[in-house]
Amino acid sequence: MNPFELKAKQKSLYYPLNALSLKSYDKYATDPYTKTRIILMNGTEFESNWFYHQFARHCKNKDVLKVIAEIRRSEQLQQKRIASLKPVNESILETTLSYEQLAVDLTAILAKREKNSVVKKQLDFALLEDFDHLYRFTDMLEMDEKQNYKKLIGSYTEIMPGRPTISEPRAPMQDLKTPINSNTANPLTKLAVSIITGAEQQTMNYYMNVGSFYHKEHGRRLYSEIAMIEEQHVSGYESLKDPTKSWLECALMNEYVECYLYYSCMQTEKDARIKEVWERHYETEVYHLKVVSDLLQKYEGKHYSEEFSEPDFPELLDFKENKKYVREVLESVRLNTFGLEYIDVNDLPPSHPYFKYQKTYIGANPLKVPSHKIIKDYITKNGTDLRYETAPHPITALRDRKFDNYEIARVKGK
Ligand SMILES: [Fe+2]
Ligand SMILES: [Fe+2]
Ligand SMILES: [Fe+2]
């Protein structure tokens, strides 16, 4: 499927106001992966809309500004439609579980098929951190909202500690990677970098905005702590993007990503009503793609094929469970990073910026850190933490369900 060669069926980007709201899904009856697709596309639209705002702030060409204002309005409308699928009775924390489930499974799927070792290592590395967030948020859900997580996110994803959240804060420069060269990169690599940056950025935005609306103080603190890690993830992923591309070339890439994702969603969606939403949005994106490729031709004299030498969609994105893969990656739970280096915490020199940052940020009393406290409180109340494991945890040091390990991957020799 080459989306550039499709005839855009859509002739206008104008919609009536009532197109903004769709009937929301049933949070118990809807497949967890339908929810993750909804969150993914909501984030992709946010990224697209926000990109065009940044573009507008750096563009002097009045004709280009007019065209991107039209597309931007359309992206905003698509985001509203997708956001309206979330039901009124789904709490901030319930939605959060789906956010982290998306982070885990999307990252695992992209990592599994990634050939570029720089990109793959970053995916595997961050995977274990979102995996840990899922565990801590799930325990908080059961404790505060007495809600059965399984009814919401099913059993596609295991719930157990990853790299403990307390071990994740690193000095800002540590997460910066080397960008890909998108002229020579594999099409799947280009897609992976854009998709995961948008998805992680959406998670970061969500926690930035909703964290302080949580109904308990310990949860507000947990959101703040985890939002800071999402900031690290976005910094890492965006540093992989090719910085040499023009605004129009980036816009073309964004539109291509939207086409690819909607096409993947419509091919894999089982819910007929939601599938129709994906199909309709795909049509819109084919139109956006056409408009942007015309702009690129007109103002930079560049044909789309110079950016996409293989324009056919590669392997589609299909949400399937990744339990085995995540367990394999967990073996590297003690890794730390600095740029392209990934080193076991035990092998880091004591002068490493990680330790300096941790000392200031975590301070002298790790027992007070919200992500540790939430599990400690859960254990005090219930005797053990809450997990969903299909086998014992692959890391012995993370097996004890009566004690939350706050030293592994952070303190040498643990
Ligand atoms: Fe869009
Ligand atoms: Fe993340
Ligand atoms: Fe678009």
Distance 301 CA to ligand 1 centre (A): 25
Residue 168: nearest ligand to its CA?
2
Q: Provide the pLDDT for residue 211.
A: 95
Whether 233 is covered by a domain: the verdict is yes
Distance 289 CA to ligand 3 centre (A): 7
pLDDT at 9 over 90: no
What's the pTM value of the predicted model, to 2 decimals? 0.97
Distance 202 CA to ligand 1 centre (A): 14
Q: Could you give the CA distance from residue 215 to residue 316 in angstroms, rounded to a whole number?
A: 39
b/e code 322-338 from CB counts within 10 Å (16+ = b): bbebbbebbebbbbbbb
For residue 164, which phi and psi values (nearest 5 degrees)?
Answer: -55, 140
Whether 330 is covered by a domain: the verdict is no
Q: Could you give the CA distance from residue 132 to residue 330 in angstroms, rounded to a whole number?
A: 11
Distance 237 CA to ligand 2 centre (A): 10
Distance 56 CA to ligand 1 centre (A): 17
pLDDT at 141 over 90: yes
Distance 45 CA to ligand 1 centre (A): 5
Distance 277 CA to ligand 1 centre (A): 12
Whether 347 is covered by a domain: the verdict is no
Whether 17 is covered by a domain: the verdict is no
Residue 128: nearest ligand to its CA?
2
Based on DSSP, count helices (H) and strands (E) in the chain, helices before strands.
13, 2
Distance 282 CA to ligand 3 centre (A): 9
pLDDT at 397 over 80: yes
pLDDT at 15 over 90: no
> How many structural domains is the chain composed of?
1
Whether 126 is covered by a domain: the verdict is yes
Distance 48 CA to ligand 3 centre (A): 6
Residue 262: nearest ligand to its CA?
1
Whether 393 is covered by a domain: the verdict is no
Q: Are 37 and 319 in contact (CB under 8 A)?
A: yes
Distance 10 CA to ligand 1 centre (A): 14
Nearest residue to 227 via CA among 209, 212, 207: 207
The model's confidence at residue 58, banded by pLDDT at 50, 70 and 90, is very high
The model's confidence at residue 7, banded by pLDDT at 50, 70 and 90, is confident
What's the chain's length in residues? Answer: 414
Residue 41: nearest ligand to its CA?
1
Residues 6+ apart with CB under 8 A from 48: 75, 254, 255, 258
Residue 206: nearest ligand to its CA?
2
Q: Could you give the CA distance from residue 202 to residue 33 in angstroms, rounded to a whole number?
A: 17
Question: With the CA atoms of 128, 131, 136 and 139 taken in that order, what torsion angle do they form, in degrees rounded to the nearest 10?
Answer: -140
Q: Interior CA angle at 125 toward 396 and 134, to 5°?
A: 70
Distance 394 CA to ligand 1 centre (A): 40
The range of the structural domain enclosing residue 114 comes to 3-10+26-155+178-310
Q: What is the DSSP string of 180-219?
A: P-TTTS-HHHHHHHHHHHHHHHHHHHHHHHHGGGSSSHHH
Whether 396 is covered by a domain: the verdict is no
pLDDT at 10 over 80: no
Distance 16 CA to ligand 3 centre (A): 18
Q: Could you give the CA distance from residue 231 to residue 251 in angstroms, rounded to a whole number?
A: 23
Q: Provide the pLDDT for residue 8.
A: 77
Whether 305 is covered by a domain: the verdict is yes
Q: Provide the pLDDT for residue 146.
A: 92
Per residue in 184-239, pLDDT (tens digit) is 999 999 999 999 999 999 999 999 999 999 999 999 999 999 999 999 999 999 99
Residue 127: nearest ligand to its CA?
2
